[in-house]
Amino acid sequence: MSEITVGVLGARGRMGSEAVGAVEEADGMTVVAQVDADDALDALVDGGAQVVVDFTNPSVVMDNLRFCIEHGIHAVVGTSGFDDDRLAEVSTMLADREDVGVLIVPNFSIGAVLMMRFAAIAAPYFESVEIVELHHPDKVDAPSGTATRTAEMIAAARRSAGSAPIPDATTSDPLGARGGVVDGVHVHAVRSRGLVAHQEVLLGDQAETLTIRHDSVHRSSFMPGVVAGVRGVVGRPGLTVGLDAVLGLD
């Protein structure tokens, strides 16, 4: 069987260069084009790329996608900024090209994807759920996008199941120690030197707790997800959001 030919956009950035290495090391795929800010996209066509991995930035990613789709190249996208409007735009681009697949991935960490999914499955079985996310102290925003998304998934699962509101007898909290609330779920953001990206979901019921924790200590943890995305987008035409489908979790 021939190898999947891959082009990497943003190839000299931190994530992109990591992706180049990961694709090279993976079985059944090879890098045929490395494109960065000043390079022409034609290199993708010249190199014969079947799949593009895009780690660029929100200002150029849509043009990249238009080029790929027009040229029949599948895309795995790690660039952020895909709101509903952008997703709709990608769907429109894809309307004429039934053979091309685009996979938008908010989180390439397989462990994080599983954590979120398990949290949502478990949430209706427990009275209480809270989220603690922990990151390095140079992070400028709180809570993390993953924590927010996890809380939304938990809240949706509980609504579907008709779960009661999470109990909380707190009447005095002058300092705001109880943290933030996303969709009815308390979210706490810890910042400490020595941490990278971590999250813990605590589910509690009568005399028992279930804790699901994900620890990522280097961006290389995202690479198995990139490789799975490259494998998965081939033969999956149309727009897909999230690694779940590619991982066989749907």
Site for a second copy in 125-154 (CB under 8 A): 125-130, 132-134, 137-143, 147
Query: Is 71 marked active-site?
Result: no
Return the residues of window 207-226 that contact a second copy according to CB under 8 A: 207-221, 223-224
Which of 202, 78, 80 lies closest to 133, judged by CA? 202
Burial 74-95 (b: 16+ CB within 10 A, else e): bbbbbbeebeeeeeeebeebbe
Integer CA distances (angstroms), 22 to 30, 71, 108, 138, 245, in order: 10, 24, 13, 27, 21
Query: Which residues from 47-66 bind a second copy, rule CB under 8 A?
Result: none
Task: Supply the minimum distance, in Å, between the C-beta of residue 113 and a second copy.
Answer: 9
Q: Which residues are annotated as a binding site for (S)-2,3,4,5-tetrahydrodipicolinate?
A: 136, 145-146
Cβ nearer to a second copy, comparing 30 with 192: 192
- Restricted to residues 81-110, the positions that interact with a second copy (CB under 8 A) are 109-110
Residues 6+ apart with CB under 8 A from 172: none
Interface with a second copy, residue 203, by CB under 8 A: yes
Residue nearer to a second copy on the CB measure, 52 or 110: 110
Which residue in 135, 186, 198, 214 is the catalytic one? 135
Q: Nearer to a second copy by C-beta: 179 or 238?
A: 179
Q: Is 135 a catalytic residue?
A: yes
Nearer to a second copy, 9 or 151 (CB): 151
**Count of alpha carbons within 13 Å of 179, Cβ hemisphere only?**
18
Residue 108: exposed, middle, or buried by beta-carbon count in 10 A (0-12, 13-18, 19+)? buried
Residue ranges in 175-194 that form contacts with a second copy under rule CB under 8 A? 175-182, 186-194
Closest CA to 167 of 130, 131, 120: 130
Interface region with a second copy, contact rule CB under 8 A, candidates 61-69, 76-84, 94-102, 197-205: 197-205
What's the token pair of residue 71?
């040229």
Q: Which sequence positions are flagged as catalytic?
A: 135, 139
